Amino acid sequence: MIELTKKYWVLYEGTTIKNQDYREEQSGKCYPGESIGYAEFDTLEELDAFVQANNLVYVEQDMPEQLM
Amino acid sequence: MITFYKGEDFTLTFTSTQDISGYTKSVSYFTPFGTPILAVVTPINNFSFSAKFAAVDTATLKAGALNVVVTFTDANSNKSISKAMPAQILDSLVNGNIRTADIPSTSLEIVFEQNTIALDINFVGLTNTQTTAVNNLPADTNGAIATLQNNINTEAATRKSADDTLTANLTTLTNNAEVKTNKTSDIYTNRQSTTIYPNVKGIADYIDNFTIKPWVLSFRKNGDGTGISTINITSNIDTTVTITNGYLYTDSLGNGQTTFINLTHNVATNVHFKVIKNNGFISTNNIIRIDSFTDRANSPIPYFSPANLPAGLTVLSWNGNNTGTGDIANLPAGLTYFVWQGNNTGMGDIANLPAGVTFFYWQGNNTGMGDIANLPAGLTYFYWAGNNTGTGDIANLPAGVTIFIWQGNNTGTFSGTRTWAQNMRKIYLRPAAGVFTSAMTDALLISLATQSSWTSEKTIDLRGNCGARTSASNSAVATLQSYGVTVLTN
């Protein structure tokens, strides 16, 4: 079982970051799904460097999906 | 004693243990003082023969004792011996007699010099029915029955004609109703017919949908009042938006100042405006959707509450920095989509949400409450934050929920048994402290791992005040990961 336990982690699919709070210090443990990319870091600087190096971006979500 | 009925065909079989082929057999029958009638005798084999009694003959008998005389004639000596077999004949079945007393067999011995012929006689071959019995009754000599039959036929013909007329009228009415319903539909789609004959339901629907229903939304001036807010609204009729104590514009930059904006029915339209006094308001009619509200620096702030929403509203997406308040029990009854964000201080029991709500998203500083078991049955999307004090067992959520995000001061629990919907998307739980135990966290993960169908977010986040999971849910977490689900726990 893959388990992330460091202070910072980023989850992504392609170049899209999935966890909105990726720049915040995390609590608890993360067990990423098998189909998702992930990386964990001890410092925010390391995380930012990884995000920049891999052109990862977080896309702000608008309102919740509107069901017609 | 064998019993017969008048007006029936019936057959007797005579069976001996010895060869009786050397004898000529005849059978006659008669009632007292009547003329004997010969039955039709037919050999069956060397040991037996049958005698058929014709209905046309039995109909002429009088009820009472019936003598059946069996005669054997020796072909060599031409000597005959006859023996009577007592029987009984009853009136025919036509008056309701029920054949319950029949004795289907008897026996008879014929002593022929030193030869005694023992015969077993069986009643077989009843072929007639009650109808036959009726047909075999004596002739209708005075014509009374024929007259009655004619009367019946005449009455039947009259009634059939009336039925045919009613059926034709009903068909005509049904066709007319269909035509008129179609014309009613034309009103909905073309909105231009004036010479129409809608049916009653069509009239009711028309009145309900298209009667003018004014709606006024008040705003107060914010800051210096220079900012422009935007509301996206849809009406189900062609109408206009006007403003009092403010200005309307064709874009959010303040271009195209105007006194009214046209709304085309069923077309979502952005209305840009600002107010210059605290009692500004916009006026329009028959709003069925509010899809967004956007405020900006120094732009108007609406006085919003569920009680003053348009009566026909089905979609409410009220975001921005609204400071609305009020009880969700007063939301329009037909609402299906409910989003209330901003700085609202709404309140109320979620049990009082409109029954048709499928999308529930309530943020802000709301103080809502209630058991999640009482949410509308068709709910699929649940997002409840703010200062809510909701309660309940997550197992009791509506069956179709695929997104479940619950924050605030909720005291939710999980009992451990639930069938999750297909295409699950997200579980995010942040309960009040000390409520959601480690055992509940394990149980929820184990339960969620029974659903392999996940899509979109594919996230389960049980952190915050949720109890830490234990090794009891190791297998469940591994299973969820294999489904592509990311699990976050303490």
Are B489 and A29 within 8 A, CB to CB?
yes
How far off is chain B from A33, nearest CA to CA, in Å? 4
Q: Sheet holding B23-30: strands in order across?
A: B2-5, B80-90, B64-74, B23-30, B37-38
Nearest to B489 among A2, A28, A32 (CB): A28
Residue B199's pLDDT is: 63
What does the domain layout of chain A look like in residue ranges? 1-68
3-state class percentages of chain B: helix first, strand second, coil last, to nearest 5: 20, 35, 40
Residue B378 C-alpha from the chain's centroid: 18
Tokens 């009655």 locate to B148
Strands annotated E in B18-159: 23-30, 37-38, 40-45, 48-53, 64-74, 80-90, 105-112, 115-124
Are B487 and A31 within 8 A, CB to CB?
yes
Identify the band that residue B67 occupies on the pLDDT scale cut at 50, 70 and 90: confident
Provide, as residue numbers in chain B, all residues whose Cβ is less than 8 Å from the Cβ of A17: none
Query: Quick one: which of B485, B451, B446, B449 has its CA closest to B469?
Result: B446
Provide, as residue numbers in chain A, all residues whose Cβ is less than 8 Å from the Cβ of B292: 63
What superfamily does domain B2-135 belong to in CATH?
Answer: Immunoglobulins (2.60.40.10)
Cβ proximity of B29 and B48 under 8 Å: no
Measured between alpha carbons, how far is B256 from B249 in angstroms, rounded to an integer? 5
Q: What is the pLDDT of residues B97-143, one digit of tens each?
A: 444 435 556 777 777 666 777 777 776 645 444 444 445 556 677 78
Q: What is the pLDDT of residues B268-317, one digit of tens each?
A: 999 999 988 878 899 999 999 999 888 888 888 887 789 999 999 999 99
Nearest to B339 among A1, A34, A64 (CB): A64
Q: Reduced to 3 states, what is the DSSP secondary structure of residue B57?
A: helix
Residue B220 C-alpha from the chain's centroid: 51
State the pTM of this model.
0.63
Provide, as residue numbers in chain B, all residues whose Cβ is less than 8 Å from the Cβ of A30: 486-488
As given in the structure block, the two tokens for residue B157 are 């013909």
Task: Tell the burial category of B290 from Cβ atoms under 10 Å away from its Cβ (0-12, 13-18, 19+).
Answer: buried
Alpha carbon distances (Å) from B471 to B156, B394, B441, B445, B446 = 84, 22, 11, 11, 11
Interface A-B: count of C-beta contacts within 8 A: 66
Q: State the maximum Cα–Cα separation within chain B, in Å, rounded to a whole number.
A: 146
ipTM of the complex: 0.92
Are B359 and A31 within 8 A, CB to CB?
no
Measured between alpha carbons, how far is B387 from B364 in angstroms, rounded to an integer? 8
Name residues 4-63 of chain A within 8 A of B (Cβ).
Answer: 11, 18, 27-36, 63
Measured between alpha carbons, how far is B468 from A27 in angstroms, rounded to an integer? 11
How far off is chain B from A1, nearest CA to CA, in Å? 6
Residue B139's pLDDT is: 67
B468: nearest CA in chain A?
A28
Name residues 313-372 of chain B within 8 A of A (Cβ).
Answer: 315, 317, 319, 337, 339, 358-359, 361
What does the domain layout of chain B look like in residue ranges? 2-135, 142-211, 213-489
